Amino acid sequence: MENMEKNLSYILHHLNEDALPHGAVSPPIYQTSIFCFPSYEEFRDAINDEVHHSLYTRGNNPTIQLAEEKLAALEGGERSKLVSSGVSAISHAIMAFVKSGDHVVCVEDSYSWTKVLLEKYLTRFGVEVTFVEGTDSDAVFAAVRPATRVIYLESPTTFTFKLQDLPAIAAFARQKGIKTITDNTWATPIFCNPIIFGIDLVVHSGSKYFGGSSDIIAGVIVGSAADIDLIQKQEFLQLGTVPDPMMAWLLMRGLRTLHIRMKAHYASSLAAAAYLEKHPKIESVLYPMLPSYQQLDLARKLFSGGSGLFSFKLKVNKLESVIKFTNALRLFKRAVSWGGYESLVFPAAVKYLKEADVPPDRLGLIRIHVGLEEPADLIADLEQALAGI
């Protein structure tokens, strides 16, 4: 991490930007679908190696490429590919390494669309999946079969904030020639670099902290040059999950302030989590960097800080109390997603139309995103909403 800190300012503000046209401080947006060549020979070279040339924006574009160079450097990978959403990053990373008859081990409580991809979509093509409780590395190892090609991780898991021992699982998988992929959206490269732990491919939703303003949808895959080249040639060019130059530019604009924002999200979240933990109407708080967190040692091994997203459990037994609490919040807006400047609330129960369908362990489960507002104001907002139930 120390090295990373040293390079951060360089990566975010200088990397490959020394020769921008006219001395522009902000990189140009190459809003073009095609690139023209001065000669037959140059045209021939580009069309025969689309991965390394700007030929057509479905394959490559200089604005997109600059964003990719920064993202690869941030994660400590050789190459990265920017794609149109986090879900396409996840789909591409998994699909590139499986075929009919293969098997995937995936952590339980992974992002909802990751689950759908493995459980419903890829099974149509003869790819099998086993979901495992990822807090137990032995359970992950035990689920591996001779046909296992990919171990898919997400640390922490969505809504439940459970961690997996990335270094241990990566070492095990490497020995067996199994690809490891992890979703690092929560921690961002500011607080965690899974490649250092031996993970092969890191995926991100760029719609969260990279953009940082809840105004773009983006996805990123980072890994070795060989793996990213393969994904670009197979899934990316074929399925056409193209990022557009404007999105890449907005994402880079977000990256300029990523380190500053993450420090603020971390400090405010620690304060909010510590406040909630002491509140008599709260049963428990699930924030990996909180001293009372169940896997604190592992959290400290994996992360040098935490982001603004965490869950807590209200001591309630009726949906009515959850509804009342959610509606009483003023600064926390009711919405999906996270990673912008604004604070958000997402009660787990909102996914169900009828109270009877809500699983009992999800009834009081509330996920919040602690944004960049003043932490004292956010805590006051939580306090007044809790007082009403």
Ligand X SMILES: *Cc1c(COP(=O)(O)O)cnc(C)c1O
Residues that bind ligand X (CB under 6 A): 85-87, 111, 158, 183, 185, 205, 207-208, 217, 219, 337
Give the nearest distance from C-beta 55 to ligand X in angstroms.
26
Copy the structure tokens of residue 231: 């994904």
Give the nearest distance from C-beta 3 to ligand X in angstroms.
26
CA dist 100 and 127 (Å) reads: 5
3-state DSSP assignment of residue 196: helix
Would you say 164 or 205 has its CB closer to ligand X? Answer: 205
Give the nearest distance from C-beta 364 to ligand X in angstroms.
21
Would you say 96 or 153 has its CB closer to ligand X? Answer: 153
Residues ≥6 apart with Cβ < 8 Å to 361 = none
CA dist 387 and 123 (Å) reads: 48
Would you say 46 or 95 has its CB closer to ligand X? Answer: 95
Copy the structure tokens of residue 218: 């983006």
Give the nearest distance from C-beta 117 to ligand X in angstroms.
11
Would you say 185 or 326 has its CB closer to ligand X? Answer: 185
CA dist 210 and 96 (Å) reads: 24
What residue type is assigned to position 383 of the chain? E
Would you say 72 or 89 has its CB closer to ligand X? Answer: 89
Give the nearest distance from C-beta 217 to ligand X in angstroms.
5
Would you say 217 or 271 has its CB closer to ligand X? Answer: 217
Give the nearest distance from C-beta 211 to ligand X in angstroms.
9
Chain residue at closest Cβ approach to ligand X: 86
Would you say 69 or 109 has its CB closer to ligand X? Answer: 109
Give the nearest distance from C-beta 6 to ligand X in angstroms.
28
3-state DSSP assignment of residue 380: helix
**Strands in the chain per DSSP E:** 79-83, 103-107, 128-132, 148-154, 179-183, 201-205, 219-223, 282-286, 309-314, 333-334, 344-347, 365-369
Contact 339, 207 (CB under 8 A): yes
Would you say 172 or 191 has its CB closer to ligand X? Answer: 191
CA dist 371 and 379 (Å) reads: 12
Tally helices (H) and strands (E) across the chain.
Answer: 15, 12
Torsion angle of the four alpha carbons 282, 284, 289, 292, in this order, in degrees rounded to the nearest 10: 110
CA dist 183 and 166 (Å) reads: 11
CA dist 72 and 81 (Å) reads: 8
Would you say 154 or 227 has its CB closer to ligand X? Answer: 154
Closest to 7 measured CA to CA, from 188, 190, 184:
190
Give the nearest distance from C-beta 209 to ligand X in angstroms.
10
Give the nearest distance from C-beta 62 to ligand X in angstroms.
23
Closest to 112 measured CA to CA, from 162, 180, 159, 166:
159
CA dist 262 and 208 (Å) reads: 12
Copy the structure tokens of residue 343: 């604070």
Would you say 62 or 156 has its CB closer to ligand X? Answer: 156
Give the nearest distance from C-beta 48 to ligand X in angstroms.
32
Q: Report DSSP state, residue 186.
A: T
